[in-house]
A and B are shown apart, each in its own frame.
Chain A
Amino acid sequence: MLLLERGFCCDFWTDSWCVGTNDLIIFYREEGSMSLEITGITKTYANGVKALDNVNLSMEKGMFGLLGPNGAGKSSLMRTLATLQPPDSGDIKFNDIDVLNSPESLRAQLGYLPQEFGVYPKATANDLLDYLAQLKGIANAKERKELVAQLLEMTNLTDVKKRAVSTYSGGMKQRFGIAQALIGNPKLIIVDEPTAGLDPQERVRFYNILSDIGEEVTVLLSTHIVTDVSDLCSNFAIMNKGKVLVKTTPEKAIQSLEGKIFSKLMKKNEADEMESIHKVVSSRFKSGNILLKVFADQCPEGFDAEEVDLEDYYFAHIKGFINA
């Protein structure tokens, strides 16, 4: 099963490197070596908002997607994992590290790309990476120079390394962001909504880099775009209102909805009525009409069986049609 899962990922990209390493991955997983374990994390903000409500999650090497609508608590969780925001209660373990009590040990193995970040005005990519590398403890100048060159190369920024990062386009800036997150060869990489606002091409570029890294380490990726998860991740969880609704794999998720999604093309006014009758997972325009997808155990009248995609699963959860 696991092999399949990985294979799915690899097949998608049809890249040969994937196959070669599958065995190794399977081996680790079979051993059940969990790298990151989150138990009972709760966080309430001063304004009374419960951002995280008893969050439990565990994840292993590879890409893990955290899916949820805006305001679900994804970023709060990410920040908590990145040691930037202590939770009110709960526990986080990364391998042997008790993250909350010795955050500095985690930081030494952490790469973090926040949802939004700025850079010092006028600082060039090369200089800034060099500086950041020093802040991450790469003290040896020669090593650092090599590392910076390598990172720039990986993120395809070598040609623009002499330009101020502040003048970069969104995609380039995100690539710079991932470059800095990779300094020091982290074992845990957290990327928070990295592709928001990027055009499709840039998204692909970005994931290209990310999927590369995901091989060796734990990558936690938060997003509200379902295809990001289906494209990239071997495991994912859905969060809403501070809670983790479900944790599964894309395949399992789709499988679990097999035969439960139905669709119908209809006029707009018809569609409005449907909301009250059916469990509508999604509705979208299709050549002037509306294609309505509903979740049901049996095919409602006038509907057709529809191929399940991950988005259906996601909405079914968010809308509370399925209770984990």
Chain B
Amino acid sequence: MLKIIIANILFELNLKKRLISTYAYFLLFAAFSALMMVIAGGGIKGAVVSFGLSNKVNINSSVSLTMITAFMGVFGLFIIAPAFGQALFKDFGNKFDQIIYSYPANRKGFLIGRFLGALLAQIFIFSSIALGLWIGTLFPNVQAGLVGENKLFLYILPYFTSLIPNFFIFGSMFFLISSKTKKMAPVYICCIILFMAWMLSGQLQREIDNKLLSTLIDPFGLEAISQSIRYWSAAEQNNNVVVLFSYYLYNRLLWGSIGLILFIYSIFTFNHQLKVKKSKTVDVKEDIKKVVVAKLKDMNPVFNFTTLITMTKFEISQAIKNIYFQMILLAGILFVFVSSTQIGKMYGTNTFPVTENVISLVGGSFSLFILIILTFYAGEVVWNERQVKINEILDSYDTPTWMKVVSKWMTLNLIIIILLTTIFFCGLIVQTVMGYHQYDFSQYFFRLFVVKFISYFNLAMFAFFIQVIVKSKYLGHALMILYYLLLTWLPSLGFSHKIYRFNAAPLATYSDMNKFGRFIEGYFAFKIYWFFLAFALLIVAALYWQRGSLSNFKDRKHQFIQRLKSSFLKWPLFISLGMFFVLGGFVYYNTNVLNTYRTSAELNQRKADYEKKYKKYANEPIPIITSVDVRVNIFPKEARVEFDSSVKLENKTNQPIKKFLFHVISDQITFDAKFSKNGKFIEDENLKGIWFFEFEDLFIPGEKIDFSYKGKIEYLGFANEVIGTDIVENGTFFNQWSFMPSFGYQPNFELSSTKDRTKYGLEKKKRMPPIDDEHALQFNYISNNASWIDYRAVVCTDPDQIAISPGYLQKEWVEEGRRCFDYKMDQKILNFYSFLSARYEVKRDKWNDVNIEVYYHKGHEYNLDGMIEATKSSLDYFTKNFSPYQHKQFRILEFPRYATFAQAFPNTIPFSEAIGFIADVDDTDPKDVNFPYYVTSHEMAHQWFAHQIIGGGVEGVTMLSESFAQYGALMVMKKKYGHQKMRRFLKHELDRYLFGRSQEHEYENPLYLNENQQYIHYQKGSLIMYALQEHFGEKLVNSVISEFISQKGYQEAPFTTSLEFLDLLYSKVPQDDHPFLDDLFKRIVLFDNKIVSAKQKKLENGKIELEVEIEGKKLVADQDGQEKEEDFEKEFTFAVEQKEGEYIYFQKHLIKNGMNKVKFVLEKPGKKFYLDPIFINIDKSPTENDKKIVSI
């Protein structure tokens, strides 16, 4: 048998050796791998490759190499599939099987040999990946800082964990399939299914609790790797070696065994008996009888519309009857249903399946399948007759060529309609199953059959054209895939204009409030522009269409020119091309004349130039805004806002001001600015939007002047990208940054990432100034132009809309057909105000003397009560524990989903329609987080933490606003749900903190010095603040905060810092607790505890004794994630659960580093044991902190 195996291996290898494709693939993968490496190493300007790793990670670290190698392996599937399939199929396909299987050779040996031969050949081909990756690291344009020491075994390791197991697993599948079906097509179907499993795995991962499942179903193991290393810090990503562990191990075990079973199965069940197809030939008894000689009638051929319909019908039935079409469609539908379970999830909580979300989700999931089917069927319709081999007959008929072309083209369009209709029904089913019955049919129609259709319609013509001009349908498919890749890659290479990317068009997200708004115009303009090109290509395809044998390019060209000259089609062709150019001009006029098109490189250059030129003015004194009185006229339909502000300025410094920087950086603003003190504007000739204002006489300390600033923001036409989502037909929302000028050097215009800065020759910079930066402390972090201002605004809008700005409504009137509102603030506010206008419904309520108003879009009533309840509970809690509420009203205002946040302006909270308004919260579901409630409380808390105490613009400041707001929200939620239920929220916070730090681009800071790092000030902030009150009690924490507010509330410059708060806090707690506070605020501390075992036994008295073994580990990380172990002794909560969410034991126990054995007594037996169930301590492997209890 061994001989046969070897003979077959050699046979297989010999075959591969002689195939040019072997070397072609080798080179291709080597080149592609090298390219990936160079891109990952920042070697190609503007191109990015990221595998969810921090961009500080060496490209030749174990993690990077494993990820890239595994990823390349995914593409390898399409080489592996034919290789293994063909290993057997070649005998059947070439009808050689009858000979081969008539030999007496041992069949198992034969099979094993063939299989191993194919496997070895694949290993040879894919060894190119490691080679390519290594070559990639040697490229001079790779950033030196991103290449560590090259270690050979790190390159080889992924072959043993990922590639070779995958070859074996997939190889077994393909081997089995081809040996059973004796066909190749099912092998390719299997490929698609594997691919889908991979995508599905990615989908499911959005839910924390699905991690195991989602990582198991990924046959490639790629998702399993990324989940296994999800919480690795940058240092760990650089230094750890990825071996089989955690999810990755389970995944490999599962798929490895599947592969093995399939392999063994295929060896033992291989059926070498030839299935001689007894074709159902019919034998009709007939004598050589005299044939009926009937004179056939002469008929004049008629080709009319009916003929065309018949042909189209025939073509479409050919397509639909195709089993592969049905399978891909079915796969798509299944994929849609699975991913629909994740509709709009936030914090693991569902949103209502509103039509808007459903179409986005279903349409989005499905679009890949449409691309696959369209690409595939363009090939099928064009090549069908040739494949069936009936082409010579049909081509000799006098059916007009144009009819063939049109019928085939119509078939493609019908396929698109069938697919879109499928999406439509999938959407309806998803909605119905979820118990949602407000189907928005007009939205379905418009978004699917108009907006999406035109896109596929263009694409179909393009794909058709490609298939007609190529000589093989596979080449056509390859060209289409190349097109898709280019379309998505060009922007990352710096070519982002849609005018040269076929079928590209800008379109804003669909919003319930604003629909597509005016953004649909640019979309249609681009699509129509591309339509004319596509249509011209279709005509070229028709003229190029070949009947009979395919001739060479020269002949076809000749034939094409001949036909072009004689055919009437030349007119539509010329007209289409003409229209293409006309539309192109129109598009260009909009994108590049009415609007400005800048590449990201240009933008970066501008930022770098700005910094180089003006950084020296950073500490120059500037005028400070003390009062704003603005009149804003919003024209929602015209995408225009006129403003007229009267601003009071004061020199609050002790230096006279001669000149200061003045910026209005927006292509859409035209303005007229006047200072009451004489002076002149000096414009920067190179950098648009930047001036110096130079006073004639010095603006002396203490002097007050007026500044009048009039002008308009206007969005003209459409741009290459979607711009101007802040001023829209229904749901305008913009703030003062959108139009007010900024004075003095603006650090936030600087390039921020170290990568970009190095590229432009700038030094690395901190993301925020140091905590003791005196200049920076002169300004709060909201505005570097003002501290506290008087505010008044008159806002006018269309008569059917309500316009809102912070302040109290003084009066409302109609003037020149416009509805106007006068808002006035009764006290000073931060220089932070917004304007909103929409057709609102209003829900009102009251808490003591505070008016509560929610302005919402009709139909979004689901969570209004929850929001109001949260507002009231928050007011209750915050006024009782912190300080009085400074306003007499609180307003929540819905705005379109162009942004997904809520933002706290003084007594005014714009709140995105995407978060909260359509949440489907089930408070009885232990996994659900009531996030509208949470977000409302958070924003409410900002009225204290930001609008009462505001820190200076230095590092750590966001702890005082964001972490405190999180704290406020947590306390309100804790009051509502109870301490034991906080797990559901904090588990998400822990996950996002740990993931956030693994993605850190620069370095991680401790909380009190965070540089506006979201995963720190939000997620870590929540965990830390919760732990703080858990340790000292709510009361103490609240009293410190309250005292801090009374000390620092509404303070003037210099502003406070996180350190000042900590000093106060430290002073209020015993000395012994200072190390604990250090751990929370000043260090990066992570636990890595692990439950080793949890065993229960019955005691004589009938009670239960539970013994748990816990391995304690405490780690202190530096800013790169380098960890050091530290001894500790600390109380942790132990909880025993009997039913999900219900604890029968909930007590604190002391845990030390090393092994801990703890015994305690339960009243009744438990199911699951939790260490720190509420996630009060940050544990870097939270999955090791619960364990099923074993009874002994």
Tell me the complex Cα distance, A185–B295, Å: 9
Tell me the complex Cα distance, A114–B310, Å: 24
Q: State whether B288 touches A205 (Cβ < 8 A).
A: yes
List the B side residues contacting A151 at CB < 8 Å: 296
Tell me the complex Cα distance, A169–B286, Å: 14
Tell me the complex Cα distance, A177–B396, Å: 13
Which listed residue, A85, A86, A110, A208, touches B288 by the CB 8 Å rule?
A: A208
Q: State whether B318 touches A120 (Cβ < 8 A).
A: yes
Tell me the complex Cα distance, A265–B559, Å: 58
- Interface check A134, CB cutoff 8 A: yes
Contacts known (A82-B396, A182-B296); A140 close to B548, Cβ less than 8 A: no
Give 8 new A-B contacts, CB below 8 A, not counting A134-B310, A153-B292, A185-B296.
A114-B393, A132-B393, A147-B299, A159-B284, A160-B282, A169-B282, A185-B297, A201-B288
Q: State whether B307 touches A150 (Cβ < 8 A).
A: no
Chain B residues near A (Cβ < 8 Å): 279-284, 286, 288-289, 291-304, 306-307, 310-311, 314, 318, 321, 388-390, 392-400, 547-549, 551-552, 555, 559
Q: State whether A82 touches B548 (Cβ < 8 A).
A: yes
Which listed residue, B279, B288, B395, B398, touches A167 by the CB 8 Å rule?
A: B279
- Interface check A117, CB cutoff 8 A: yes
Which listed residue, A104, A111, A139, A208, touches B291 by the CB 8 Å rule?
A: A208
Among residues 95 to 109 in chain A, which have CB atoms less than 8 Å away from a CB atom of chain B? 104, 107-108
Q: State whether B398 touches A117 (Cβ < 8 A).
A: no
Tell me the complex Cα distance, A216–B294, Å: 12
List the A side residues contacting B398 at CB < 8 Å: 104, 107-108, 110, 136-137, 184
Tell me the complex Cα distance, A46–B307, Å: 36
Contacts known (A86-B559, A108-B301, A120-B318); A136 close to B549, Cβ less than 8 A: no
- Interface check A79, CB cutoff 8 A: yes
Q: State whether A112 touches B318 (Cβ < 8 A).
A: no
Q: State whether A136 touches B548 (Cβ < 8 A).
A: no
- Interface check A209, CB cutoff 8 A: yes
What's the nearest-Cβ distance from chain A to residue B900, in Å?
A: 51
In the complex formed, the residue of B with least CB distance to A111 is B396
Tell me the complex Cα distance, A139–B400, Å: 14
What's the nearest-Cβ distance from chain B to residue A88, in Å?
A: 9
List the A side residues contacting B282 at CB < 8 Å: 160, 163, 167-169, 172
In the complex formed, the residue of A with least CB distance to B307 is A134
Tell me the complex Cα distance, A169–B302, Å: 33
List the B side residues contacting A140 at CB < 8 Å: 302
Tell me the complex Cα distance, A266–B236, Å: 92
Q: State whether B296 touches A107 (Cβ < 8 A).
A: no
Q: State whether A84 touches B548 (Cβ < 8 A).
A: yes
A177-197 contact mask (Cβ, 8 Å, vs B): 1 or 0? 100111011000000000000
Tell me the complex Cα distance, A154–B302, Å: 24
Which listed residue, A111, A113, A137, A155, touches B307 by the CB 8 Å rule?
A: A137
Number of interface residues of A (CB under 8 A): 60
In the complex formed, the residue of B with least CB distance to A185 is B296
List the A side residues contacting B299 at CB < 8 Å: 137-138, 143, 147, 184-185
List the A side residues contacting B390 at CB < 8 Å: 117-120
In the complex formed, the residue of A with least CB distance to B280 is A167
Point out which of B279, B298, B302 has the most chain A C-beta atoms below 10 A from its C-beta.
Answer: B302
- Interface check A23, CB cutoff 8 A: no
List the A side residues contacting B555 at CB < 8 Å: 86
What's the nearest-Cβ distance from chain A to residue B658, in Å?
A: 81
Q: State whether B291 touches A112 (Cβ < 8 A).
A: no
- Interface check A212, CB cutoff 8 A: yes
Q: State whether A112 touches B392 (Cβ < 8 A).
A: yes
Tell me the complex Cα distance, A46–B311, Å: 33
Tell me the complex Cα distance, A209–B290, Å: 9
Q: State whether B286 touches A156 (Cβ < 8 A).
A: yes
Q: State whether B310 touches A131 (Cβ < 8 A).
A: yes
- Interface check A277, CB cutoff 8 A: no
What's the nearest-Cβ distance from chain B to residue A180, in Å?
A: 6
List the B side residues contacting A184 at CB < 8 Å: 299, 301, 398
Q: State whether A104 touches B396 (Cβ < 8 A).
A: no
Q: State whether A107 touches B396 (Cβ < 8 A).
A: yes
Tell me the complex Cα distance, A156–B311, Å: 27
What's the nearest-Cβ distance from chain B to residue A207, in Å?
A: 10
What's the nearest-Cβ distance from chain A to residue B95, in Å?
A: 16
Tell me the complex Cα distance, A189–B559, Å: 26
What's the nearest-Cβ distance from chain B to residue A50, in Å?
A: 15
Tell me the complex Cα distance, A184–B390, Å: 18
- Interface check A116, CB cutoff 8 A: yes
Which listed residue, B280, B298, B307, B311, touches A185 by the CB 8 Å rule?
A: B298
Tell me the complex Cα distance, A104–B397, Å: 8
Q: State whether A212 touches B301 (Cβ < 8 A).
A: no
Tell me the complex Cα distance, A84–B390, Å: 13
Q: State whether B292 touches A114 (Cβ < 8 A).
A: no
- Interface check A322, CB cutoff 8 A: no
What's the nearest-Cβ distance from chain B to residue A78, in Å?
A: 10
Q: Can you identify 5 A-B contacts, CB atoms within 8 angstroms?
A: A116-B389, A136-B399, A137-B307, A150-B294, A154-B291
List the B side residues contacting A208 at CB < 8 Å: 288, 291
Q: State whether B307 touches A139 (Cβ < 8 A).
A: yes
Q: State whether A84 touches B389 (Cβ < 8 A).
A: no
Contacts known (A118-B390, A167-B279, A168-B282); A110 close to B296, Cβ less than 8 A: no
- Interface check A83, CB cutoff 8 A: yes
- Interface check A49, CB cutoff 8 A: no
Tell me the complex Cα distance, A163–B280, Å: 10
What's the nearest-Cβ distance from chain A to residue B163, in Å?
A: 39
Q: State whether B302 touches A84 (Cβ < 8 A).
A: no
Tell me the complex Cα distance, A260–B298, Å: 48
In the complex formed, the residue of A with least CB distance to B304 is A139
Tell me the complex Cα distance, A209–B288, Å: 10
Q: State whether B548 touches A83 (Cβ < 8 A).
A: yes
In the complex formed, the residue of A with least CB distance to B555 is A86
Which listed residue, A84, A139, A156, A169, touches B395 by the CB 8 Å rule?
A: A84
- Interface check A324, CB cutoff 8 A: no
Among residues 122 to 143 in chain A, which have CB atoms less than 8 Å away from a CB atom of chain B? 122, 131-132, 134-140, 143
Contacts known (A139-B306, A185-B296); A204 close to B284, Cβ less than 8 A: no
Tell me the complex Cα distance, A108–B301, Å: 7
List the A side residues contacting B292 at CB < 8 Å: 153-154
- Interface check A17, CB cutoff 8 A: yes
Tell me the complex Cα distance, A169–B310, Å: 28
List the B side residues contacting A120 at CB < 8 Å: 318, 388, 390
What's the nearest-Cβ distance from chain A to residue B1158, in Å?
A: 71
Q: State whether A79 touches B400 (Cβ < 8 A).
A: no
Tell me the complex Cα distance, A208–B551, Å: 36
List the A side residues contacting B283 at CB < 8 Å: 169
Which listed residue, B279, B293, B395, touches A212 by the CB 8 Å rule?
A: B293
List the A side residues contacting B388 at CB < 8 Å: 118-121
Tell me the complex Cα distance, A167–B277, Å: 11
Q: State whether A86 touches B551 (Cβ < 8 A).
A: yes
In the complex formed, the residue of A with least CB distance to B395 is A84
Which listed residue, A136, A154, A163, touches B294 by the CB 8 Å rule?
A: A154
List the B side residues contacting A212 at CB < 8 Å: 291, 293
Q: State whether A153 touches B294 (Cβ < 8 A).
A: yes
Tell me the complex Cα distance, A139–B289, Å: 32
Contacts known (A184-B301, A201-B288, A208-B288); A79 close to B549, Cβ less than 8 A: yes
Q: State whether B307 touches A117 (Cβ < 8 A).
A: no
What's the nearest-Cβ distance from chain A to residue B384, in Å?
A: 8
A12-41 contact mask (Cβ, 8 Å, vs B): 1 or 0? 000001000000000000000000000000
What's the nearest-Cβ distance from chain B to residue A76, in Å?
A: 9
List the B side residues contacting A121 at CB < 8 Å: 388
Point out which of B310, B321, B548, B552 has the most chain A C-beta atoms below 10 A from its C-beta.
Answer: B548
Contacts known (A118-B390, A120-B388); A83 close to B302, Cβ less than 8 A: no
Tell me the complex Cα distance, A159–B286, Å: 10
Tell me the complex Cα distance, A124–B286, Å: 20
Which listed residue, A110, A131, A167, A205, touches B396 by the CB 8 Å rule?
A: A110
What's the nearest-Cβ distance from chain A to residue B768, in Å?
A: 69
Point out which of A111, A116, A139, A160 has the most chain B C-beta atoms below 10 A from its C-beta.
Answer: A139
Q: State whether A156 touches B291 (Cβ < 8 A).
A: yes
